[in-house]
Homo-oligomer: A and B are copies of this chain.
Amino acid sequence: MTTPKTNPWQTLQTTQVYDTPWISVSHHDVITPAGDEGIYGVVHYKNRAVGVIPYQDGMIWLVGQTRYPLDRYSWEIPEGGCPLGEDLQDCALRELKEETGISAGTLIPLFESHLSNSVSDEWGIVYLATELSFGQSNPEATEDITIRKVSLETFFEEVEAGQITDSLSVTACYKLMLMKSQGTL
């Protein structure tokens, strides 16, 4: 596995075109790797995506909510945005507690990914949460969430049926099924 040290893209000029508390969008005039003039629109994410999947006795917990950009309801593992100053594990524990009321004694990193690297710099990490204890949820005001406890196998069946499509959730599902199959879950 070798990695070239030079970036073949040249940036001529960068202009910010949009900014919210969560993203900024910038327009770049570039020279492409082929040497041609071109443009590139880049979406910068101000938060890191953190997913956390609570697991106990073969069961997991999903949260359902309407995703505004899709205009549809989506069942997913508990997820949230982690501001740059916040510790990732603290954020995972906080989001899990807020959305499901569950506290976790142990977090195990499952995977990291860049979610959409042709357009954005969004990065995410997903943890497996174990040693669970159960309390009251306290979702953010913008979240109309519902909680559902299902077996890992049901989670897998719903992913395979295309009923669960959230990227971090799909990846987490396959990773957990692989770990179970290999005897490491």
Contacts and interface: CB of A to CB of B under 8 A. Distances in A.
Interface of A: 1, 3-4, 7-9, 17-18, 20, 22-23, 25, 27-28, 30, 32-34, 36, 38-43, 45, 49, 64, 66-75, 79, 81, 111-124, 141-144, 146, 148, 158-160, 162-163, 165-167, 170-171, 174-175, 177-178, 181-182
B25 A42 contact: no
Contacts of A163: 1
Nearest to A36: B141
5 contacts: A33-B66, A67-B117, A69-B119, A70-B114, A120-B120
Nearest to A66: B7
Contacts of A73: 3-4
A43 to B, nearest CB: 6
Contact of A111 (B43, B75, B170): B170
Contact of A167 (B79, B116, B162, B182): B116
Contacts of A20: 27, 39, 41
